[in-house]
Chains A and B, each alone.
Chain A
Amino acid sequence: MSVPPTRLLLATALTVVALLGGACSAGQPAATTASSGTAGASATAGAGGSGTGTAAAPSGVSGLSADQAAQAHQAALGLVALGGLGSDKGTTDGLRTLADRVSTEGRALDEQIRTLATAQGLTLTDDVSAQIQGVLNDLQGRSGQPFDQAWLRAVGDLVEQGRAAANAVLSSSDASDEAKAAARDALARLDALTAAIRDAATTSGAGTPNSVNAGTGGQAADTDPALPAALVGLGALLLAAALRLRRRKA
């Protein structure tokens, strides 16, 4: 299940190129600012791959918006923060090991994004978004198994966010072949991480319930619908019998 570090870094770098490739286009100073998941929607962080973009695509366009880039960066920051928290507060060796893996992947992605963003004039915030801070606050209020369970669900959500960004590249007609290859590679890694998280969630009882069985006695059961009808029928028969008896008596 673990990914070799070299392959991880390569895939991460390719993903980052896919996310921010547009800013790498020669002679295109990027004025885009992507910050805290609230970057202006009008700006675009393109990719297309340096020198390999399709002729039809505007320079610096990869099919990925600044919002999506910021979202991917926030996912990376969130993975780093959640990984650290899981390493500190996780109650099992398995969860702490998974937390270390989450931290490593998040940190690698964050560093690569920062390096490329700085080179291209993109500004990325150092802070996690309010939403991710809310998750961290929520997790800080838990301990024991409730922490493990909520942590697994939070990490799963962030990984899903990263998968959404990768799928956005794959479905973009503007993205270059290199960008799509990188997105596919990133998606494979995230899928592997998702599988590990899902396994851990199942083990720790954090899965989404599909049933609630909260009664074994039957004392509170509804009446069988046949019973009222049977009682009414019996009552009618008895009344008819009483009427017949009265007539015979008369």
Chain B
Amino acid sequence: MQRKRLWVHSTHRTPLSLHPGRSLATWAAAVAGVVCIAAGVLLAVGPDGAADAGVVPAAAAVPAAAAVPNAAGTVPVAVALPDRSVSAPVVPTGTTPDGALVVPDPPTTVGWWSPGALAGATSGTTVLAGHVDSAAAGLGAFAVLRQVGVGERVELRGADGRTLAYRVVARRQLGKADLPADLFAHGGPPRLVLITCAGRFDRTTRHYTDNVIVYTEPA
């Protein structure tokens, strides 16, 4: 009798006390599973990385000595991407002895590789480089380069007061070892090139794996 009572007790209590909990766990597991799968899919196909776009304009196609700037340009002092509500001061910069392009420390400031072409020169590549982010100050002015699209406008303001307009014609994401040497060659059609970092981040070296290069031509 005692045994039967226990059985009855058990079978009568189960629907009332355990099923609601099990039902809740079932729903929680189902929802969590769907959320995890959705997040994984979004991460896999989301906006990570900069998909290549557009056609890269030609660089110097003639010997350097015969393809030099043939008109005075101006030293760039500011850059703006109006479609992205981004603007930043520009300062001259150069190359370290071990061959790295010097990028200004404040991520909100952009460097102009001053051995290259002036802004507004009728030939040659004007090169700007800016941080995508920094450990101390967060995202940089050029973080938007990973999403910039063909046709977007870029403006350079020169030291002489001129504003020079360019249009994005191509964007490439390349491993750092594949940085095109022709970015820094003399001559060729006038173009403005914007460079920053992208790809995965190595927390040991504190470097990114890739560069994003945005090519523009005079508008």
- Which A residues fall within an 8 A CB radius of B? 37, 75, 130-135, 137-138, 140-142, 144-146, 149-150, 152-154, 157-158, 160-161, 164, 201-225, 227-243, 245-246, 248-249
Contacts and interface: CB of A to CB of B under 8 A. Distances in A.
A249 B139 contact: no
A2 to B, nearest CB: 24
A221 B201 contact: yes
- The secondary-structure label for the interface of chain A is helix
B115 A153 contact: yes
Contacts of B39: 228, 231, 235
A157 B186 contact: yes
B61 interface: no
18 contacts: A141-B72, A141-B73, A141-B74, A146-B92, A154-B68, A205-B94, A206-B115, A211-B176, A214-B142, A216-B133, A217-B133, A218-B135, A218-B203, A219-B138, A222-B201, A223-B48, A242-B26, A242-B29
A201 B113 CA distance: 13
Contact of B75 (A141, A219, A231, A248): A141
B207 A130 contact: no
A243 B30 CA distance: 8
A153 B195 CA distance: 21
Given A215-B196, A222-B200, 20 more contacts: A134-B70, A138-B68, A138-B118, A138-B121, A149-B114, A157-B64, A161-B65, A164-B65, A204-B94, A208-B181, A212-B211, A213-B207, A216-B206, A216-B207, A217-B135, A217-B138, A223-B48, A225-B44, A228-B39, A238-B36
B121 A248 contact: no
B86 interface: no
Contacts of B115: 146, 149-150, 152-153, 201, 205-206
Nearest to B196: A214
A155 to B, nearest CB: 10
A214 B140 contact: yes
B68 A211 contact: no
A215 B208 contact: yes
Contacts of B72: 137-138, 140-141
B132 interface: yes
Contact of B92 (A145, A233, A240): A145
A183 B206 CA distance: 50
Contacts of A234: 33, 36
Given A214-B131, A215-B207, A131 B94 contact: no
Interface of B: 19, 22-23, 25-30, 32-41, 43-44, 46, 48-49, 63-75, 92-97, 99-103, 113-115, 117-118, 121-123, 129-140, 142-143, 146, 176, 179, 181, 184, 186, 195-201, 203, 206-208, 211
State the 6 A-B residue pairs at the shortest beta-carbon distance, nearest first: A205-B94, A134-B70, A235-B36, A238-B33, A231-B40, A235-B37
Nearest to B102: A205
Contacts of A241: 29, 33
A203 B95 CA distance: 9
Nearest to B100: A211
Contact of A210 (B37, B122, B179): B179
A228 B176 contact: no
A157 B68 contact: yes
A241 B28 CA distance: 10
Nearest to A156: B64
A205 B93 CA distance: 8
B200 A239 contact: no
Contacts of A204: 94
A58 to B, nearest CB: 28
B199 A235 contact: no
Contacts of A221: 199-201, 208
Contact of A220 (B38, B96, B143, B211): B143
Given A214-B103, A222-B199, A158 B114 contact: no
Contact of A219 (B68, B93, B133): B133
Contacts of A236: 33, 37
Contact of B97 (A160, A202, A231, A240): A202
